Amino acid sequence: MIDLIQIIVNGIAVGSSYALMGLAMVIIYKTSEVPNFAQGEMALISSYFAMTLLISFNMSVYSAFLLTFVFAIILGCFLEFAILRRAKEPNVLGMIVITIGIEMVLLGFVSWKFGADQKTMPFPIGPYDSFIIRDIFISKLEVLTLVAALLLMSVLYLFFKYSKLGLAMKATQQNSVAAQIVGIRTNRILMMTWGISSLVGAVAGLLISPTIMQPFMMWDPMLKGFAAAVMGGMTSLPGVVISAYMLGIIENLFGGYVSIEFKTVVAFVIIVLVLCIKPSGLFSKHYVKKV
C-alpha cells in the first residue's frame, strides 16, 4: 500500500512539470490555434540564462530569477515579432514548421554555447531535500512545482476570463478579422501572448533545472505537456492541469507495475485514444463553425 501511495505521489509531482509546460503551450494556442513546439527550448535558454547570472555574475537567486522572467518575456515577444510575424500568408502547418525550426536553432545555440555536459543549477532547494510523512517521501522541489502549477493555472484562468487583455486574446483566436474591426491590435496581442507563454515556460524550466541541467532536459516535459494539452483540450486551462496529473499518475503506475522501459510510450498511447474517442479533448467543448 505504501508503494502504491508513493507511486501516486511521484506521479502527481512529475505531472506538475507537465502541467506547467501544457499551460505554456495552451496560452499560445488559445490565441493563434498553433501549437508552439519551441516552447521547451524557450524554457531551456531561459534556464541557462538564469544559471549564467547566478554563476558568472554572482547574483542573488531572487534577482537572477526576476531578470530571467523579464528575459523570457522579451524572448517570447522577440520571436513572435522577428520570426512568426514575418511569415507571408502563413497556414497552421507552416507555423508549426517555423516553431520546430526555432526549437532547433535554440537547442543548437545552447549546445554550442554551454556544451552537452550536465550542469549544476544553484537553487535554494536541493533536488533531494524531502519531507517524510508516514514513510512517504515528498520532495520539497516537487511541492514547490505543484504549488506553482496550481497558482499559475488559477491566475491564468482568471486572466483569460475577466481581464481586458485576456478577452482580447480569446477574441483574436475566435476571429482575428472581427477583432481588428472592433479595434483590437491582433499583432500586439499575439506578441504579448508569446511573452506570457515564454514566462510560464521559464518557470517550468527553472523548477526542472535543479534536477537535470543539460540541453535536452526540456524535451520530455515539453512532449508530455503537449500530450496533457491534447488530452485535456487545447483551450481548457483546468483541463490541461487535470490531464497532466492524470498522465503523470498513469505513467508512473505503468512504470511501477508493468514496464519501466515503456513508461514514456504511455503518454502517446493516451493521445491516440483521446483523439479517436473525443478529438476536442476530455475537458474542452467542440465547436462547429457554421457557414
Mean pLDDT of 48-71: 94
pTM: predicted TM-score of the whole model, two decimal places: 0.91
Taking Cα atoms as reference points, which of 20, 27, 77, 67 lies closest to residue 47? 67
Q: 63 or 265: whose pLDDT is higher?
A: 63
Q: What pLDDT, on the 0 to 100 scale, is given for residue 222?
A: 92
**Res. 1: pLDDT tops 80:** no
Question: Which grid cell sits at 264?
Answer: 514514456
> Model confidence over 155-176: pLDDT tens digits?
988 998 888 888 888 888 777 7
Task: Tell me how far apart the alpha carbons of residues 254 and 211 are, in angstroms, rounded to a whole number.
Answer: 22
Please state, for a pLDDT cut of 90, what percent of the chain lies above it. 45
Q: How confident is the model at residue 286 (pLDDT cuts 50, 70, 90)?
A: low
Q: 97 or 289: whose pLDDT is higher?
A: 97
Q: How confident is the model at residue 75 (pLDDT cuts 50, 70, 90)?
A: very high
Q: What pLDDT, on the 0 to 100 scale, is given for residue 290?
A: 44
Q: What pLDDT, on the 0 to 100 scale, is given for residue 285?
A: 64
Q: What pLDDT, on the 0 to 100 scale, is given for residue 166?
A: 84
> Model confidence over 6-16: pLDDT tens digits?
888 889 988 99
Say how many C-beta atoms besides its own lie within 10 A of residue 115's C-beta: 11
Alpha helices, H only, the chain: 2-32, 39-56, 61-82, 92-114, 140-162, 164-174, 176-181, 186-208, 219-232, 237-257, 265-277
